[in-house]
Amino acid sequence: MKKFVCILLMLVLLGVLGYCIWQIVGITDEYQAGVEVYEELEQFVVMPETVPVETTADEEAVEVETKPAAIQWPEVDFDALAEVNSDVVGWLYIPGTVINYPVVQGADNEYYLKHLFDGKANSSGCIYLDCGAEGDFTSMNSVLHGHHMKNGSMFAGICKYKDQSYFDEHPTAMLLTPDGNYLVEFFSGYVCETTSDAWDYDFDDAWLDKHIRSSYFDADVVPTTEDKILTLSTCSYEFKDARFVLHGILVPA
């Protein structure tokens, strides 16, 4: 009897182990599928060129480092992207980070939580503009939602703005749209509850003052109610249903 119980217990443990491995493999495959889809979309974007860092003649031969030239904009073929998905409304790029994605806007805020740009079901989802905002980013506050993926993709990286030094290295983003481009000058980033007014479409001076005071980093940018704002939002894990939001002014290029 004892031997039978031990065998049964071992079979149960093996079953649990097998299930866990199956789950891990499934998640890994799904993450990889998401990465591959977005890598394929990069064919529709021409990124700014880099130039070699100058070195003196007596320096040892090393791998050539590169740095961005003066501010240059990526070039996005929105017509080609629209053939893949007509919901495309922009492209978001934060230099020096993995954030380099198309932006879509759906009829609701649910579909693109679990669907890639090409429409395939996948937990990576899309970076998407809130369905209540104007599709041309003319709302006072245009909110972009994205998952905090464990492999560091999508909007996981914006949580790094909890560190002043990270903000200092990446103070701006680039938002490209079919109608024009914007430099996004970040001015605040903080953790909040889902009941926060961070995602309100309209705002006033009190709203700006409150969220600037909540920021993890200090910025020289001083927003006013005359500005248009872009808000990036993702999950954070300080408490249940925590969110990290990053606000920036939209400056037409």
Spatial separation of the C-alpha atoms in residues 100 and 95, rounded to whole Å:
8
- What is the reported pLDDT for 1? 60
In 3D space, the residue among 124, 123, 140 whose CA is nearest the CA of residue 132 turns out to be: 140
Query: Quick check: 182 and 175 in contact, CB under 8 A?
Result: yes
Domain of 239, CATH number, reads 2.40.260.10
What DSSP letter does each residue of 144-189 carry, written as one string?
EE--B-TTS-BTGGGGGGGSHHHHHH--EEEEEETTEEEEEEEEEE
Tell me the pTM.
Answer: 0.81
pLDDT of residue 29: 77
- Whether residue 9 is contained in a domain is answered as no
Is residue 56 situated within a structural domain?
no
Residue span of the structural domain in which 110 resides: 71-252
Nearest to 203 by CA among 192, 211, 191: 211
pLDDT at 250: 98
Neighbour tally for 99: CB within 10 Å: 20
Question: C-alpha angle 180/138/123, rounded to 5°?
Answer: 85
Number of domains in the chain: 1
Task: Spell out the per-residue pLDDT of the chain, length 253, in tens.
Answer: 666 555 655 654 554 444 333 343 444 678 788 889 899 999 999 998 754 444 334 434 334 444 444 678 999 999 999 999 999 999 999 999 999 999 999 999 999 999 999 999 999 999 999 999 999 999 999 999 999 999 999 999 999 999 999 999 999 999 999 999 999 999 999 999 999 999 999 999 999 999 999 999 999 999 999 999 999 999 999 999 999 999 999 999 9
Residue 169 falls inside a structural domain: yes
Domain assignment present for residue 22? The answer is: no
Residue 110 included in any domain:
yes
The CA distance from 114 to 122, in Å, is 5
Q: What is the pLDDT of residue 33?
A: 80
From 115, 147, 152, 132, select the one nearest 233 (Cα to Cα).
147
| Residue 16 lies inside a defined structural domain of this protein | no
